[in-house]
Amino acid sequence: MPVSVKANRFNITRSVYAVISKDDATAVNHGTIKTLGEPMTVQLTPSYASGTLYGGGVKTEDLSMMTGATLKLDLNKIAIEDQAIIGGHTYALGVMSEKAGDQAPDIAIGYEVEETGNNKEFVWLLKGKAKPIASSRQQMTDNINYSTDSLEVGFVPRKFDKKIRDFGDTANADFTSIIAVTYLDTVPGATLVVG
């Protein structure tokens, strides 16, 4: 087993998403991979179940198991047509319409992180639903104040294989640059189905 070289994360450079069209015991299918926008910050928080067992007057077991994850992603701007897809809204002629009861589809989100030593980390979160996209708007004062979008997605295990997240790091020799070049081109373990 190769030992990873030292590499520290310092920049998130790319984010993508795909709609998950099928997830059952037989297969996972996804649509076209699309650019999500220019990422600024990413925060991934695992959710977990935990339990502690005591016996004989001492703690005999202390277990935590991952059950899902929450992703918070701040971006320069999410294109209006992508906001419509991610939120389950309608879009026509440059106008997105949001209605009460719109339901977000299952999506996968991938992103790329630059690391020291010319290394990169690649992350795929495999099945989640987005909350309504939040945004900030500011007027220009003495300085230019940019407005941004914020996306929060709750991820759960896929039915097909119970996976929540896959990630690779070129700081580890097993994750070669050949794998890295195309890693965000398809959702891991899923089949691209266009149409």
- Is residue 59 assigned to a domain? no
Using CA atoms, how far apart are residues 16 and 39, in angstroms rounded to an integer? 10
Domain that holds residue 21: 9-48+69-186
Per-position pLDDT tens, the chain of length 195: 668 999 999 999 999 999 999 999 999 999 999 999 999 999 999 999 999 999 999 999 999 999 999 999 999 999 999 999 999 999 999 999 999 999 999 999 999 999 999 999 999 999 999 999 998 777 778 888 888 999 999 999 999 999 999 999 999 999 998 999 999 999 999 999 986
Using CA atoms, how far apart are residues 39 and 17, in angstroms rounded to an integer? 12
- Is residue 127 assigned to a domain? yes
Q: How many domains does the chain have?
A: 1
Using CA atoms, how far apart are residues 28 and 160, in angstroms rounded to an integer? 6
Looking only at the bridges linking them, the beta strands covering 34-35 and 119-130 are unpaired
167-186 burial by CB neighbour count: b if 16+ within 10 A, else e?
A: bbbbbbeebeeeebeebbeb
Single pTM value for the model: 0.92
At 103, which helix (H) or strand (E)?
A: none
- Is residue 195 assigned to a domain? no
Cα distances from 92 to residues 26, 96, 156, in angstroms, run 34, 7, 31
- Is residue 61 assigned to a domain? no
pLDDT at 1: 66
- Is residue 181 assigned to a domain? yes
Looking only at the bridges linking them, the beta strands covering 9-23 and 34-35 are antiparallel
DSSP 6: P
- Is residue 54 assigned to a domain? no
